[in-house]
Amino acid sequence: MYDTINMRLKQEEVKGIDLLQEIPCRLSNTSKHYFNEGKSIAISGYLDKLKVGVSEFGVTIKDNSVCKWYLGDNFQTLGRGDTKRSIEKLSDLLYLPIHKADITRIDLAQNIIMNHDLSVYYNHLGDMQYYSRLEQPKGLYYQNKKRHLVFYSKVDDYKSKGLQIPEMYKNRQVLRYELRYKTEILKQFNLPELKAEMLYNESFYMQIIDKWYQEYLNINKIRDSLKFDYAMIKTKRQYQLQSILYYVNMNGGELEAIKEINEAFKTGQITKKQSFDLKSQIKQACSSELYTCKSDVISELDKKIKESVRFYN
């Protein structure tokens, strides 16, 4: 499930080792960088294709995929066992206790083979509390200051980079769902520290995969509206709900209706309270089990996301 893992091994974890003297010779394509008016130096280079930075303060591994370095591509992801072995390999090659490194970013990801064009699923993934929903030309992002949720085609991603697509994924609709922990990781996990060795601790591994799953569940799923049916109307409230659904469908669906209300608020046509009330009415109508039904494509996605977390190792 792990893809990108950024790490920082502090100098105090390797007392007695002059990092600037010993580590660069184990790297290729090194370059020097001066800062603090030329009084300090940092050196960057590559361990195979893994970018490594060295300074008087420690060693950093970031801005690249440990998964791709260890497994050869990042179509795959690192399970608990592979994560442990990749950290051990890094330690052996750098002659450093990488298992003691602080984790500064984690991306979890899974490939899911779907039945339909992926845009169909994006259209059924609605808003999400505390996140901004951002539609992309070939994907869907949910973002806040600490985390990103990303849905995109892994096949298209590989094609755009000219990379070889694994045989089992050729001519398939491969949905990639990633959860990226960008900042304040310790706060998010309520931990005093997060070392590399904790990534393959069974308890933590189960916890972070559960979070990957829970974040998906927190997305509002767009239900399919049933046909306007007068026979189902018994009260004024039921008529109101069906009328709202009719309005929503005429305006291109729930997402488009919400977008129209947001634009009306931004342009001063309605107040903040009116915007909130209108969106609440729409969400209530669109979640009604009497007048809407769960989408088949969301049922498929729900099932396959759930299957992804059944086996933790």
The pLDDT value recorded for residue 231 is 67
Residue 271: which domain range?
224-293
Question: Does residue 298 lie in a domain region?
Answer: no
Pair (159, 94) in one structural domain:
yes
pLDDT of 291 reads 73
- Write down the pLDDT at residue 230: 65
List per-residue pLDDT tens for the chain, 313 residues long.
899 999 999 999 988 888 998 898 899 999 988 877 767 889 999 998 899 999 989 999 987 778 888 988 888 899 999 999 999 999 999 999 999 999 999 999 999 999 999 999 999 999 999 999 999 888 999 999 999 999 999 999 999 988 889 888 899 999 999 999 999 999 999 999 999 999 999 999 999 999 999 999 999 999 887 666 666 677 888 777 778 887 787 777 888 888 888 889 999 999 999 999 888 888 888 887 777 888 899 999 999 999 998 866 5
**Close Cβ partners of 112 (under 8 Å, ≥ 6 residues apart):** 174, 175, 176, 177, 301, 304, 305, 308
The answer to whether residue 311 sits within a structural domain is: no
Q: What is the pLDDT of residue 149?
A: 97
Do both 161 and 239 map to the same domain?
A: no
Please give the pLDDT value at position 191.
95
Instruction: Clarify whether residues 168 and 213 are in a common domain.
Output: yes
Q: Are residues 127 and 209 in the same domain?
A: yes
SS3 138: coil
What is d(CA 283, CA 238) in angstroms, rounded to the nearest whole number?
Answer: 14
Give me the pLDDT at residue 49, please. Answer: 85
Query: Number of structural domains, the chain?
Result: 2
Q: Which of 185, 217, 249 is the last residue of a domain?
A: 217
Whether 187 and 254 map to the same domain: the answer is no
* 114 and 85 co-located in one domain: yes
User: Last residue of a domain, which of 195, 217, 239?
Assistant: 217
- Residue 89, domain member (yes or no): yes
Asked if residue 65 is part of any domain, the answer here is no
* Closest residue by Cα to residue 88 from 179, 184, 196: 196
| pLDDT for the residue numbered 68 | 87
- Half-sphere CA count of 95, side-chain side, radius 13 A: 11
